[in-house]
Amino acid sequence: MDPVCPLDYRYGREGVKEIFGEKRRLQFLLDVEAALARAHAKIGNIPQDAADEISRKASVDYVNVDRVKEIESETKHDIMAVTRALSEVCSGDAGKYIHLGATSYDIVDTANALQFDDATDYIKKGLKELRKTLVDLAKKHKNTVMLGRTHGQHTIPITFGLKMAGYAMEIDRHLERMFECKNRLLVGKLSGAVGTGAALGEHALKLQEIMLQDLKLGVEDVSTQIVARDRYNELIFVLCNIATSLEKFGTEIRNLQRDEIGEVAEAFEAKKQIGSSTMPHKRNPITSEQISGLARVVRGFMTPAFENSIQWHERDLCNSASERFILPHSLILTDWIVYQTNIVFKNLKVFPDRMLKNMEISKGLPMAESLMTTLIGKGMGRGDAHELMRKTALRAVEENKTLKEVFLEENEKLKLLTSKEVDDALNPNNYLGASGKIVERVVKKLER
Give the CA angle between residues 263, 267, 268 to the nearest 5°: 115
Residue type, 99: H
| Phi, psi dihedrals of residue 422, rounded to the nearest 5° | -65, -50
Whether the Cβ atoms of residue 308 and residue 319 lie closer than 8 Å to each other: yes
Choosing from 77, 91, 276, 309, which is the catalytic residue?
276
At position 212, the amino acid (one-letter code) is: L
Alpha-carbon distance 303 to 294, whole Å? 16
Which of these, 436, 444, 441, 448, lies nearest to 161 by C-alpha position? 436
- Do 181 and 82 meet the contact criterion of CB atoms below 8 Å apart? no
Q: How many CA atoms lie within 13 A of 260 on its CB side?
A: 3
Q: Does the active-site annotation cover 277?
A: no
By C-alpha distance, which of 87, 23, 22, 84 is closest to 57? 87
What's phi and psi for 63, nearest 5 deg?
A: -95, 115
- CB–CB of 416/422 below 8 Å? no
Please state, in angstroms and rounded to a whole number, the distance separating the CA atoms of residues 101 and 98: 9
The secondary structure element, H or E, covering residue 219 is strand 218-219
DSSP string, 238-300: HHHHHHHHHHHHHHHHHHHTSTTT-SEE----TTT--S-SS-TT----HHHHHHHHHHHHHHH
Assess contact for 111 and 29: CB atoms under 8 A: yes
Q: Of 73, 151, 281, 419, which is the active-site residue?
A: 151
Give the H or E element holding residue 150: strand 145-150
Neighbours of 406 (CB within 10 A): 21
151 is catalytic: yes
Give bridge partners of residue 146 from the DSSP assignment: 158
Which residues are catalytic, by number? 151, 276
